């Protein structure tokens, strides 16, 4: 009897590593995005593979990943990161290289979604928005956004140089395709700050993504810059907020695998699953962020497509956030902005 108990105990011990491998930790930014990922990626992946997904939320602290990698105590398998962190983390050797042969090939993705250490999860956009209940005919261009005679009232804008300098140049007549070329010159930066100064008395700053929809609903501002997914989330709760897509600035979030992650193979399988057209289409139905797989849009009806940054109509005059430009010149421009905003 004792022998039988011992054999059972040993069998249970031997089974433990196999059980441990049947789960991966996926890290996201929480909120509506996390809920959409759960429905489109985590639950279907668990069902299809038997691998359990442990979801963890964070605020984008790259330092946590760095500490794990440097101490060789990596507990996260797949992490969603913003584009500056995807680039910087790759340069610093914090992430595993992506094997696109396991992801259906680079040609399966939008060019912007393909990078050495990360693959695009979704496309999001910073746009202008207004309350359809309070403003029947909203702004069509950034020049309109700046026009306080035609549209009296406060404007919500994110407190920082990023996006605002680009929008200021477009308001001053620069074509979206030429924005970074102009902003990269001393005269261009001067021009952008001069244009921002014109609007300064009417600006109400926001710092968290949840604020612009709140400002618009309360009537604190007549229009605001905002992340498009926040407007979608508010409208799903019965609000009537409208988006102007002209001259919107789009960017991507990426999946990365920290260097030395415990379940690299299962992590790649998860990313491959989450990168399929079917899974990405399901995600886009739950939150208005655009898919990165080129075949996903065809799986969505016109109603869903109308709210996505990647639909042909909305992307027509869009500008891709220029990561290299902001990596090279961002520090100086943010310092200048901080001084400008307090004067």
Task: Spell out the residues 6+ positions from residue 102 whose beta carbon is closer than 8 angstroms to its own.
Answer: 268, 269, 272
- Tokens read off for 141: 């261009």
Strands 155-158 vs 23-28: parallel, antiparallel or unpaired? unpaired
DSSP code of 30?
A: -
Tens of pLDDT along 260-319?
999 999 999 999 999 999 999 999 999 999 999 999 999 999 999 999 999 999 999 999
pLDDT at 2: 55
The mean of the pLDDT values for the chain is 92
pLDDT value of position 32: 83
User: 124-250+316-342: same fold as 2-123+252-311?
Assistant: yes
Strands 155-158 and 52-57: unpaired
Q: What was the pLDDT predicted at 4?
A: 53
The pTM (predicted TM-score) of the whole model is 0.85
At 199-222, the pLDDT tens digits run: 999 999 999 888 999 999 999 999
Pick the CATH number of 124-250+316-342 from 3.40.309.10, 3.40.50.2000, 3.40.605.10, 3.40.190.10: 3.40.190.10
Distances (CA, A) of 43 to 10, 17, 39, 130: 32, 23, 6, 35
pLDDT number for residue 13? 45
pLDDT tens digits, one per residue of 309-333: 999 999 999 999 998 899 889 889 9
For the chain, what percentages of helix, strand and coil (3-state, to nearest 5) are there?
50, 20, 30
Residue-wise pLDDT tens digits, 50-83: 999 999 999 888 899 999 999 999 999 999 999 9
The answer to whether the CB of 221 falls within 8 A of the CB of 153 is yes
Residue 61 DSSP one-character state: -
- So what's the pLDDT on residue 327? 84
Which of 292, 231, 253, 312 has its CA nearest to residue 80?
253
List the chain domain ranges: 2-123+252-311, 124-250+316-342
For residue 59, the model assigns a pLDDT of: 85
Which option is the CATH number for 2-123+252-311: 3.40.50.620, 2.120.10.80, 3.40.718.10, 3.40.190.10? Answer: 3.40.190.10
Quickly state the pLDDT bin for 18 (edges 50, 70, 90): very low
**If DSSP codes are grouped into helix, strand and coil, which group holds residue 116?**
coil
């Amino acid at each position: 009897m004792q022998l039988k108990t011992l054999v059972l105990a040993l069998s249970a011990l031997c089974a433990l590593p196999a059980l441990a491998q049947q789960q991966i930790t996926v890290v996201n930014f929480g909120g509506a995005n996390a809920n959409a990922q759960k429905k489109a990626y985590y639950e279907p992946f668990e069902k299809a593979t038997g691998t359990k997904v442990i979801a963890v939320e964070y605020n984008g602290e790259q330092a946590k990943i760095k500490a794990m990698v440097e101490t060789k105590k990596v507990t996260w398998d797949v992490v969603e990161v913003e584009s500056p962190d995807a680039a910087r983390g790759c340069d610093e050797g914090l992430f595993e290289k992506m094997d696109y042969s396991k992801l259906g090939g680079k040609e399966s993705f939008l060019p912007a979604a393909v990078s050495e250490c990360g693959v695009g999860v979704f496309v999001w956009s910073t746009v202008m928005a207004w309350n359809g209940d309070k403003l029947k005919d909203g702004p069509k261009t950034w020049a309109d956004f700046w026009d306080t005679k035609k549209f009296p009232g406060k404007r919500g804008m994110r407190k920082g140089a990023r996006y605002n300098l680009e929008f200021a140049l477009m308001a001053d007549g620069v074509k979206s395709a030429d924005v970074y070329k102009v902003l990269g010159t001393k005269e261009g930066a001067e021009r952008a700050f001069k244009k921002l100064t014109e609007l300064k008395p009417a600006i109400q700053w926001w710092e968290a993504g949840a604020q612009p929809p709140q400002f618009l609903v309360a009537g604190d501002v007549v229009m605001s810059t905002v992340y498009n997914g926040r407007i979608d989330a508010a409208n799903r709760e019965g609000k009537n907020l409208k988006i102007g897509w002209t001259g919107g600035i789009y960017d991507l979030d990426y999946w990365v695998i920290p260097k030395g992650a415990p379940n690299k193979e299962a992590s790649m399988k998860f990313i491959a699953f989450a990168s399929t057209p079917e899974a990405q289409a399901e995600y886009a139905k739950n939150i208005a962020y655009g898919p990165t797989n080129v075949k996903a849009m065809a799986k969505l009806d016109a109603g869903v497509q109308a709210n996505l940054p990647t639909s042909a109509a909305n992307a027509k005059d869009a500008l891709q956030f220029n990561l290299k430009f902001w990596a090279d010149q961002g520090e100086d421009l943010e310092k200048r902005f901080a001084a400008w905003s307090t004067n």
